[in-house]
């Protein structure tokens, strides 16, 4: 069963997640590390816990979620995996990051893309892919059924949802995906979002003002 460790990174207060299990293999999801201090915190955690990074995953490819892609590649030799529909979103970062004041070392490109459905595995853990665009064109969430946790990216937040005013965003599509895909998960499923504190599916069904 996977354990989750989160790190808050970069000016957008983005949540970077490390998932790991008894096998000591781990997955890095949405590396937003920007400063040397942020990079060191993640590397130290991996080292101190004797973990072996085997996968780099992006829920989607907005700047705050990919700032650390190049660093993870340089450090661990891992290329990111994400849905092919995020390719243009990633390519755009090179142009807009400097305009926003970010130093951005271009992310490597995937050797293979993730499908809309299916599973991706590491160690003793299986992550189910849930395709939930609306915040970005081809956003994926990662669900660990055994641990009953969802790494949700910028789809569903505590009392909020992902913004839909960026290129490729679509409000009605986002709402539809939350209600028809995420809300099928158990009420006690813990959601680890791309920003802010974790929540549960049940809490959001009852309290989220957007849904």
* Mean pLDDT of the residues in the chain: 97
CA distance 135 to 88: 14
pLDDT tens per residue across span 138-148:
999 999 999 99
The mean per-residue pLDDT over the stretch 48-65 comes to 98
Query: What pLDDT score does 1 carry?
Result: 85
pLDDT tens per residue across span 77-129:
999 999 999 999 999 999 999 999 999 999 999 999 999 999 999 999 999 99
| Per-residue tokens: 197 | 């504190």
Q: Closest Cα partner for 70 from 45, 25, 113, 34?
A: 34
Domain spans in the chain, listed from the N-terminal domain onward: 3-207
Residue 172 predicted with pLDDT over 90: yes
**Which CATH code of 3.30.930.10, 1.10.340.30, 3.60.15.10, 3.40.50.300 fits the domain covering 3-207?**
3.60.15.10
Query: What pLDDT score does 27 carry?
Result: 98
pLDDT tens per residue across span 151-167:
999 999 999 999 999 99
Radius of gyration of the chain (CA): 16
Beta bridge partners of 52: 25
The answer to whether residues 124 and 143 touch, using CB atoms and an 8 Å cutoff, is no
CA distance 198 to 201: 10
Angle 26-133-147 from CA coordinates, rounded to 5°: 35
CA distance 156 to 178: 7
């Amino acid at each position: 069963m996977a354990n989750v460790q989160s790190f808050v990174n970069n000016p957008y207060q983005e949540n970077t997640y490390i998932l790991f299990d008894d096998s000591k293999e781990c997955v890095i999801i949405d590396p937003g590390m920007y400063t040397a201090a942020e990079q060191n915190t993640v590397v130290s955690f991996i080292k101190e816990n004797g973990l072996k990074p085997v996968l780099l995953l992006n829920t989607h490819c907005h700047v705050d979620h990919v700032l650390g892609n190049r660093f993870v590649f340089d450090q661990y030799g891992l290329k990111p995996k994400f849905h092919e529909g995020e390719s243009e979103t990633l390519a755009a970062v090179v142009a807009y990051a400097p305009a926003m004041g970010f130093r951005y070392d271009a992310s490597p490109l995937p050797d293979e893309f993730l499908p809309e459905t299916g599973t991706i595995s590491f160690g003793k853990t299986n992550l189910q892919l849930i395709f939930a665009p609306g915040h970005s064109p081809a956003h994926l969430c990662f669900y660990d059924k055994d641990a009953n946790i969802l790494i949700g990216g910028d789809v569903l937040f505590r009392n909020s949802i992902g913004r839909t005013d960026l290129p490729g965003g679509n409000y009605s599509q986002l709402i539809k995906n939350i209600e028809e895909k995420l809300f099928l998960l158990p009420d006690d499923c813990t959601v680890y979002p791309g920003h802010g504190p974790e929540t549960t599916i049940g809490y959001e069904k009852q309290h989220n003002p957007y849904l």
